[in-house]
Amino acid sequence: MAEGVPRRPSTLDEVAELAGVSRSVASRVLNNAPHVSRAKREAVERAVHRLGYVPNPTARALATRQTGAAALVVSGEDPSIFADPFFAQVIVGASAALDDADLHLMLCLAASDRGRRRVEKLLLSRGADGVMLMALREDDPLAILAQEAEMPVVFGGRPVGLVPRWYVDVDNVGGARAATEHLISAGRTRVATICGRPDTEVGRARYRGYRDAMLAAGLEPYPPEAGDFTERSGAHAMAALLANHPDVEGVFAANDNMGVGALRTLREAGRSVPGDVAVVGFDDLAVAGVADPPLTTVHQPIEGLGREMARMLVALVDGQDPTPLILPTRLVTRASA
């Protein structure tokens, strides 16, 4: 730099880059926020000293509002939902990504009116640096509230009738279409579906994939039997299909839990799988591989869903503007189809 020319002040981004940490970690160190490892704290302090960084007072005032935590909110009814293999994998992925950014993971269940009020308070009071919101149903007030919140919110899956600014989803339509096409290509023309909850976008999207595949093949889609993504509901829906359509020879279940329930009902009814009825699920949970028979299914990167949601949230906390993300699916063929 030429003599007499004042040196440009260093920036927080430069501090973070020199320290080898994210911008949010550097900010929390400078504001003595919690949940930062000793090694990263010392690296930031060395970078500050080397660069001669002086925090902007206004930015510092805003940064002190950081909590060092991100919340995963599930708009469900059953407190055991976090033990569901699907959500357990989401938590693993999200936790790993947040750990890399030194953000603590909070789990919130918006089941009761009291639970929803707690989440509303969290969104309005900035009780976390950001929120990941999942399992929303049609007309869920949390969806609108999250859109209006003055804090980063990432949706896991898209809510019904709303396209949020930031979301991570999987190719539900394409995966369901591939599952149904697999049944049709095996010579099954009487193919029915056990769809997910019709008040969720994932339930509707997987039904659309089934319907698209049937119509493209010149086949009439069956009226769907709806379940709630549990094994029990899959068993009940399969019983209803057998009663209403005893000639059914293929079933696409919108998740593995319902697919396993369908297998149980078919076995109890004396129907062989895949001889009489072939079954395909969706998710590729561990239960699919140990089912009797092992369940052909659509693999979705569940842990990756949690990881990418958390990465998107960290990017927002760091002041970036990431784009929505759709994760791919693929068919995993096993003995049930």
For the chain, list the domains and their CATH numbers. 12-63 (1.10.260.40), 69-169+302-325 (3.40.50.2300), 172-299 (3.40.50.2300)
Residue 298: CA count within 13 A, CB half-sphere: 28
C-beta separation of 215 from 329 below 8 A: no
Q: Which ranges in 20-133 belong to alpha helices (H)?
A: 23-30, 38-51, 57-63, 85-100, 113-125
pLDDT of residue 62: 46
**Of 39-43, 46-50, 286-290, highest mean pLDDT:** 286-290
**Of 9-23, 58-72, 268-282, highest mean pLDDT:** 268-282
First to last CA, the chain: 70
- The 10s digit of each residue's pLDDT in 74-122 is 886 666 676 778 989 999 999 999 988 888 898 887 766 777 777 878 7
pLDDT of residue 12: 83
pLDDT of residue 64: 44
pLDDT of residue 141: 80
Cβ contacts of 126 within 8 Å, gap of 6 or more: 65, 67, 150, 151
Average pLDDT, the chain: 88
Q: Are strands 250-253 and 278-283 parallel, antiparallel or unpaired?
A: parallel
Cα separation, 116 vs 303, in Å, equals 26
Output 34 or 26, whichever has higher pLDDT.
26
Q: What percent of the chain has pLDDT over 90?
A: 56
Residue 261 clears pLDDT 90, i.e. is over it:
yes
